Amino acid sequence: MPDSGTAEPDFFQLLLHREWLTEKMIWHGKCYPDFILQRARVYQALQYHDLAAFDAYTVYTLCQKELSDEFVTDLVAHDLDGRPWLESTGEGFGNERRIHTARYEKLRALAILMRCFVQMGATADAVKMRQELREEVSVLKNTNSDDWLSTKLPYTELDMNDIDRVLYASTMSHFGQSRREVYSWSSYEPDRNSTDSVVELNKYLSVISSSLEAKVTALPAFDTLGNATEDKSYQLGLFAKTDLQPRQEVLNEKSLLTAIRPLEDAICDACGQELEEIPFEDVRQCDGDDCDVTFCSQECKDRAAKEYHRPNIDEEEDGDVAWNGEDAEDDIGGTSGDEHAPSIDTTNYEDQNTQEEPSPLETSSAPICGNTDLSTIGRPTNTTTPEWDLYFLLLTRTIAMSLTQSIHPLSLPSTKYLWGDFNPTPTPTTLDPHHKHHLTLPFSPLHNLQYTLDYFTTLSLSDPRATPYSPHWLRTFDFWILQTLFAKFRGVANATQSTFDGKPEIASVHPGWCLANHSCDPNVRWTPKGTRKFFVRTREERAEYKRGEGGDDGDEWTGIKAGEEIFSHYTDIRLPVQERRERLKEVLGGDCRCERCVVESRDVAGH
């Protein structure tokens, strides 16, 4: 890796080295652990500990596969000659040399994982990695007699005193925080405030609302510590195009970017609508073989087949052409579902790629349908992490949409313009090892690493495009892309709770609905399940507080005037101001500064 005496050249050289390694992986075309581990070290040097952890975890898993007699993973690693990984290592030396090599590579991966988990605060998993690392060092010392391996042991023996001091002083946690940024090498994040973006969003909005339009608006700004500043943050918002009357429906949006935690047929797989509320004759079943997926309407069934869940039918039935992938190329362009479905331009999908990829015609046309091995990943029966499960399931729905529509996941109509609450993209000076990055993106080794790798590996058995570290995967599903999606979901997804156990069971992302900014005195209300609808609040539904000069007093409320902003709400507005603000901190970046919160907090302080 290039070295330099100043931080600035190192930063750029590390970025170039990351790019070079990624392109080398694409050129090789297969999963080669040495390249992956090299890139993990580059990510570690760049202080992207989440990205380093995924690469290191992949190598760790491949080593476990070599060392264990039990099933570990279906992922297959290869050497530079295209042969199975470590096959040539044992030639002439027997199986012992291969085992030693796998142990050493596992040691390197464990060292990276341990340090990354410590940096992100996932201390319980760091302790586990530390213990396993020490056990591997002990095994290598006791069983190795070859000079070639002995010379490498000093490199792998870590001075873990600093690590131990951090861990002993920390509360044990299986969760941490990672950086939340638009990566400097990403070309997929649009300028949401640009004229072109606003025009495209309004084209989308015109299908789901004749009364609203998107505009750029100024919101209160916070620093990286969540403190209020005098600056303004310019974001998108929804505004009334005409006068809107109380009780008037002003938005009607159905989104298929939906995650459903329970595996049952009581909820529409496409939009999350509870089927007990739907007439029995309207309910539809997937036509695929061995598939129990249920939909609330023919519309949802048809859109699902187009957008994420193509049925696995190979024969023509009743004179109709069955779904067999033959129209896959026609889907590229963003129309999702029927001819009236909202559309967002997606023409930048892999425009700059030169490596030939397998087309949808060369892969499984229905990799999701009837795949029970896939559907159980991320859905543990007695889960203690339902919210985390739902964010992971939103990711898997996005992956299915990308493969079905042949659109890059960050260019999908459902994800392209989502607000990710990203921190500023780093500058060369932030490579300082003592620089403290603002870590705001929640991280779970179980969900971000284990579930994610398991999902892609299982999916790759029916669709090679999903094979981890294949050319298509690196361009379309590399871990930085997944982390970008997680950041967006964390910023805009909403969930509904189960009526049985009170746990969140359905999460969804509605690109139009989530454009509305928050106020604890909202002027619209919305439906919580299935299709998202906005209704103008009546006077009785408005929050009660002493409004400031120039504001209506509630009794004079007659609706929303043309040009006024639409305000939704991201928390229970019946709660006291302190509790509302505490709940909103992660979403807003600091204390809510809507007029109601300012007035009520001042009243509380005065007493």
User: Side chain identity at 402, as an amino acid letter?
Assistant: S
324 contacts: CB under 8 Å, gap ≥ 6: 313, 314, 365
Closest CA to 271 of 497, 529, 509, 530: 530
Rounded (5°) CA angle 28-21-114: 115
Architecture of domain 195-251+511-606: Beta Complex (2.170)
Query: Where do the domains of the chain lie?
Result: 7-120+123-173, 195-251+511-606
Gap between the Cα atoms of 429 and 418, Å rounded: 29
Gap between the Cα atoms of 143 and 139, Å rounded: 6
Q: What pLDDT is stored for residue 587 in this prediction?
A: 78
For residues 141, 143, 145, 147, the Cα torsion angle rounded to the nearest 10 degrees is -50
Q: What pLDDT is stored for residue 527 in this prediction?
A: 83
Reported residue count of the chain is 607
What is the torsional sign of CA 569, 573, 577, 582?
Answer: negative
Mean pLDDT by 10 residues, the chain (607 residues): 49 93 95 95 95 98 93 92 74 68 90 94 92 83 58 51 70 92 95 96 97 93 62 91 98 96 88 92 93 94 96 58 35 36 46 42 66 93 94 98 96 95 75 72 97 97 95 97 97 84 90 95 90 95 76 72 96 93 84 92 80
Q: What pLDDT is stored for residue 170 in this prediction?
A: 72
Q: Could you tell me if 546 and 599 are in contact, meaning their C-beta atoms sit under 8 angstroms apart?
A: yes
Rounded (5°) CA angle 87-33-160: 115
What is the model's pTM?
A: 0.87
Q: And the tokens for 331?
A: 């889907």
What is the torsional sign of CA 420, 424, 428, 433?
Answer: negative
Q: What pLDDT is stored for residue 568 in this prediction?
A: 95
2 contacts: CB under 8 Å, gap ≥ 6: 9, 10, 13, 14, 16, 17
Q: What pLDDT is stored for residue 553 in this prediction?
A: 55
For residues 279, 280, 285, 290, the Cα torsion angle rounded to the nearest 10 degrees is 150
